[in-house]
Structure formats: structure tokens, C-alpha cells
Amino acid sequence: MGVTFIDLFAGAGGFSEGFLQADGGARYDFLAASDINENCELTHLLRYNHQLGLDLPFLRSDVKAPDFVDRLSALVTRPVDVVCGGPPCQSFSLAGRRRKNDKKDDLFAGYLRVIERLRPKYFVMENVPGILTKDGGAHKERILREIGAMVDDRAVREVASKLGDGEEAWIRLRLTRDADGYATALGDAFRDATRTNLDYRTSKTSRDVATVRHGIRMLGRVSDLARLVDTITREKGHADIDNDAFVDEFDRFIDVLQPDAIVERCLEALKRLPAVDLAMPLRTALLTPAECLDRVAVLRPDLQRACADARLYRCADALTLDASDYGVPQRRKRVVFIGCRRDQKLIHEVPRRVAAGERVTVEEALWDLDFLQSGQASSEYRPVREAAVASRQADGRAGGDRTYAAWSRQGRVPGCRPAAYVYDREDYDAGKLTVAPLHNHQAATHNAKVTARLQAIMDAGRFEADTAADLAAMGLGTGKRDYTPLQANQPAPTIVTIPDDYVHYRVPRAPTVREMARLQSFDDSFVFQGKRTTGGNRRKDEVPQYTLVGNAVPPLLARAIGEEILKVIE
């Protein structure tokens, strides 16, 4: 039996494709996938169930839903060796303005809850480079800290059983009781302290006493408060509350419900109650089990080894990978966290597969698809020329027996049935599948003015301030802030979800879905289902073909990661 994996935040399935290709295929067993969007599910059903015959369960759900982990666990009937996924990263991206309290920022916490339950040998989490710098690097450090915070409950209880009195006693309570149980003990201690050290009137009427008492009660309800914060954050995102008269009040309310903010207010109140000393146990309330173990290692050197052995996972650091180093015809940088269970070997790097001077170019990837003009579509290959391009291996390395385009046409995943397309789930259930040699190859219709503008940008080879001025002088001005012309002899820049941001390298038009998929290293047999594109507010909820492509992990990058895991997994 192969190495098993599941794909969370699966999107189009870039991780899945890469893992199924790894080491020539047949080394990984795909157990389940999940995403919140209907078209992601439809694309997976066509690819993995219809084409590859895997009978693959797909959980369409929000990873933050209270029952998500239970429902996922019920679908997985074998131990999981690897969990992969890329939590949505719009709030981390350097491409746009970042929002405070963005509902996507905490999706990685839901991802880690799956890790804690399934206990895979390895997990892979992908994101954009912006995560390294957001809030001065605090988000990256939080991810690494929370990876290290996953602990073995049985080993933690063993450590707790050896702790003594004083601070050790409070740490023991923190390790062995849930938030409500710890808050109950803290509340009892505060009640006793106020009865002993404060007069009756003060204990009953002081605002500071009430603040501490009520704050402790809130600490016992952190799970309920977290659900409330999630609801408010979702409503904030749904209503697009940002840069308006509402945003500060929303953010302040969210902030005041955070456990550290609650403790800070309690500590400020305690400063005005000098006879009551609960600062240490209040701060202990904020400690994760891993942080408790760190403190125990300081207090009790004899337990340092036991504390280290209680940790479940390790991660060397965030890796910044450029997809073009792994056979993808695109300069797409991504940050990858590869964590391993404590009984497995750390992965410190993913060695590049392609030398800097041998990267796959745009023309290598697209030459046999560039026959379409504006407004045209084709369900078959009709190349109008032969391109002098190098032969490569399946993973993009030089020296193989076919070109990159030929690998894309033939496919890198063995055993595929003919490629098929459906518009929606109703057509899929009714068996209304459109089978053809080529799918997703339809060019946008541009009017004469737009076509002339795109031709001028192609001729200039760039779109900058002077280019825009020249276009305006020719009567071809545009309100768009940016165009990126693709260069034939170079890898593409990072492909995103809006095709009109790019100008084709040979024809004055935007790239098709199929062409963008080639630049992402998807095989042509991988069909993107549903509607081709969408616009306006619908972009918040719909995931059409262009969005599926632009948000995907490049399969050849995922393949390289999967192969590194295969080298060391035990």
C-alpha cells in the first residue's frame, strides 16, 4: 500500500495532482479532499472520481465549523501519512491592502486542529510570501509556535503528575483542566483572596473587583467567545466593513474578546487591589500546553527531557520556493511549512529540479495553443507552427524524451479516462458530460480598440507610465492600472485569477484558462469545471475556472515536495 494523504483547502487540486505524479506515480494513495466551494468539489469529482476512478470522498465544509474534524475523520478509513493544503491567503498577500481581523487569518488554526486529530507523519502548508512580513513577521512566528504547541496529551499528564506546589500547582491545573475548570479554580482563589484581604464593602462594590471576577468568568468561556469572534468577523467580511465608520468599532469589540486582552484588563485592575496577588495564575491562564512545558523545563530541570518528548511536531522553518525552479513555466514564489511528527526526519529544503538557465519558458508551454484569436474557441489542437523547444523530463528537468507541451498533452498522471466537462452538479449527476480532446480553451472577445491596445503593449514589451501615456496619445487609453505582457523566452510572472491582467506573448488577447493552466503546470487532461469567469461581488462566493487556476498550487511544485517526503518518510 502507498503513502496516504488528504488535501485540505483543495481548490482545483494542485497538491493532489503533484502528489499523484510523485516519483512516477503509484506511490501515494489519495484518501479524501475538502474545500468550502461547490465548483472545487465538482472539479474534484470529475478529475478523481470520474477520470481516475478513485471513489474519493470530498467534504464541502468550512474548516472552522465545530464539527469539521469529526466529519472529516469519519470519511478517512485509513491512517493518514501526509496532510497537505494551502489555507486561503488573500489577507497575507502583498498584492493588496491587508485587513485587520480578516476572517481568513485564522484558517490555519483549523488546519492545525486536523493535524492534532489525525496525527499524520508529515504535513505541508502553503502560503504567499506576504505571510513572512505581515505584522512584522508575527504571523509566521505564530504558525511556527502553534506547530510546536501540538502536544501528546498522555505525555503532558505524566509531566503534570510530577509537579509540586506554588507556581507548579497552577501549571498542573492548566495542563490537566480545560479553560472552564481552570477558571473555576482561579475564581475560587480570587473569592478567597477578596474575603481575606478586602473589606466587605470593597469586595461587593469595587469596579476593579468586578472586572477581575467577570474577566475570570470570560476566561472560562474562551471557546464560546471564539465562536462569537468568528461570527462577528464573518459578518465584517460579508458586509465588506473596512475603511468606513464601522470598522473601528467592530475591531475594538473583536479585540476586547481576545483572552490576552481579558487578562490584561484583569491585571490592570489588580494593580489597584494590592492586597490581592493573582498575577501569576492569571498569566498562566494564557499559556498553551507547550508554553507550560517551557516553563516547567525552567522550574524543574529534571523534567526537561520529559517536556521535550511531549511535543508532537517539529518544523525546521518556513521555506520560500520559486515554482520555476521545479519545472513550472512561472516565477511564482510560495512559502511552505513542512512539519513532521517527532518520530520522523525534519525536511530542511526542497532542492531545485531545474537550473536557473534551464527554466521552462512561456513559449515552451504555450506554442501549440497559441492559434486562437480574440473570441475564438477550440475543442481540439490546431497548432499553426512548430516551435524549436527543448525536450524535458516529466518534472521539467532538461534532457527528457518529449517537450513540456507534449507532456501536458499526454498527461503526467497515469490511468486517466478521457477528459470531460460539465457546467454544474446537476449535469454531472445526470451524466451530461462533454468529452473532447481539448477543454478550457476559449479566448475572450475583445473589441477593436482593446485589441489595438493589447497589440501596442505587446510591441512595447511592457506597461509602464510612459506606455500608458503613449496609449492615451493614440486614443487607446485605459483605466486599468496594470497589464503584464508575457515574454516568450522567459517564465511567466505569478499567475493570478484575473486573465485581463495579462497580455498574450503572440496574439493580442488575454490568455485562455487552458493556457493559464499550462503556466501553472496542470496537464491538459485536468479540466476546470463550471463557469469560465465571473465578476463584481460574485467573486467573493464563486470560484470559476480562472479562479481555480490562479489560486492553485502548481502541480510540479507539489510533486517536488511530495518526492522529498517520500525520500525520508518512515
Q: Is 354 left (phi over 0), alpha (psi -120 to 50) or beta?
A: beta
Q: Which of 40, 89, 266, 340 is catalytic?
A: 89
Q: What share of the chain is helix, strand, coil (3-state, %, to 5)?
A: 50, 10, 40
3-state secondary structure 186-230: HHHHHHHHHHHHCCHHHHHHCHHHHHHHHHHHHHCCHHHHHHHHH
Contacts of 195 (CB under 8 A, 6+ apart): 203
CA 524 to chain centre: 24
**Is 2:382 a contact under the CB 8 Å cutoff?**
no
**Diameter of the chain by CA atoms?**
93
3-state secondary structure 61-77: CCCCCCCHHHHHHHHCC
Cα–Cα distance list, 443 to 183, 363, 512 (Å):
61, 17, 5
**Is 315:339 a contact under the CB 8 Å cutoff?**
yes
CB hemisphere CA count around 428 (13 angstroms): 20
Cα–Cα distance list, 469 to 455, 473, 479, 484 (Å):
15, 6, 12, 16
Q: How many secondary structure helices (H) and strands (E) does the chain include?
A: 24, 14
Query: What is the residue whose three cell numbers read 506546589?
Result: 165
Identity at 136, one-letter amino acid code = G
- Told to judge if 340 belongs to the known catalytic residues of this protein, a careful annotator would answer no
| Residues classed as catalytic | 89
